[in-house]
Amino acid sequence: MAGAVDDYVWALAGRLRGPGRLRDGMLTEVREALTDAADAYRDAGLTPLEAERRAVADFGPVRPLAREFQEVLAAARGRRTAWLLLAVLGIHYGLSELIGRMTDWQADWGSAEPSALYLGFARCTDLFVQAALAAAIAAVAAMGWGTRRLGLRLTLVRATAALSTLTVLGAVAAGTLLTLFAPTGSAAGELLWIAPFAAVLVSAWRTWYAARLAA
């Protein structure tokens, strides 16, 4: 039968969501601390059951500890999301620029020319992606330095999740529209990015959820 230490650790584990290795490390540290405390009580003459109960009582309720640990897990998840966004968006933008410079636009447009509306939308898309890249770099820095120095850990985590979601949705929508409205346009190229962008969205959702649990 599980003792008080196992019950405490299982209850704590049920409240934590975040990177598996960090989460497992937290639970291991808690278990070891409780086990050491219980051993000390047994050496003092208490029965094993009484010793575990006393150790757990000294450790305090699960909820406050879970909230403290969850905040750390949320920050770790936010850092992962920020780096993933930067990597995916950077590669996508870099390849797009490379292909655009290597390919003559007339090969796609032929004798036709892009309309002023199309060119304006293309410029706006470039500015949006460039701004998103700058924001992603800022998010990486904020989730590293900012969470330690500014004391805005959960705020920065939520902002990173929201930024990642809006950036992915905006980049995919703009890229698809630009491709479809070109004379020889096909969205097949954008389909190749479904998996990487979906990974960013999933990570952003997990980040938001982890932050909500810590609130």
Separation of alpha carbons 156 and 67, rounded Å: 17
Average pLDDT of the residues in 131-145: 85
- What is the pLDDT, as a whole number, of residue 1? 39
List, in sequence order, the alpha helices (H) in the chain. 4-13, 20-43, 48-59, 62-102, 106-109, 116-141, 147-149, 153-180, 188-191, 194-214
- The answer on pLDDT for 47 being more than 50 is yes
Decide if 143 contacts 152 (C-beta within 8 A).
no
Q: What is the pLDDT of residues 98-134, one digit of tens each?
A: 766 666 555 555 556 677 787 788 888 889 888 988 9
Separation of alpha carbons 46 and 41, rounded Å: 6
pTM across the whole model: 0.82
Of 3-17, 100-114, 183-197, the poorest mean pLDDT is in 100-114
- Mean of the per-residue pLDDT values for the chain? 84
Separation of alpha carbons 204 and 160, rounded Å: 8
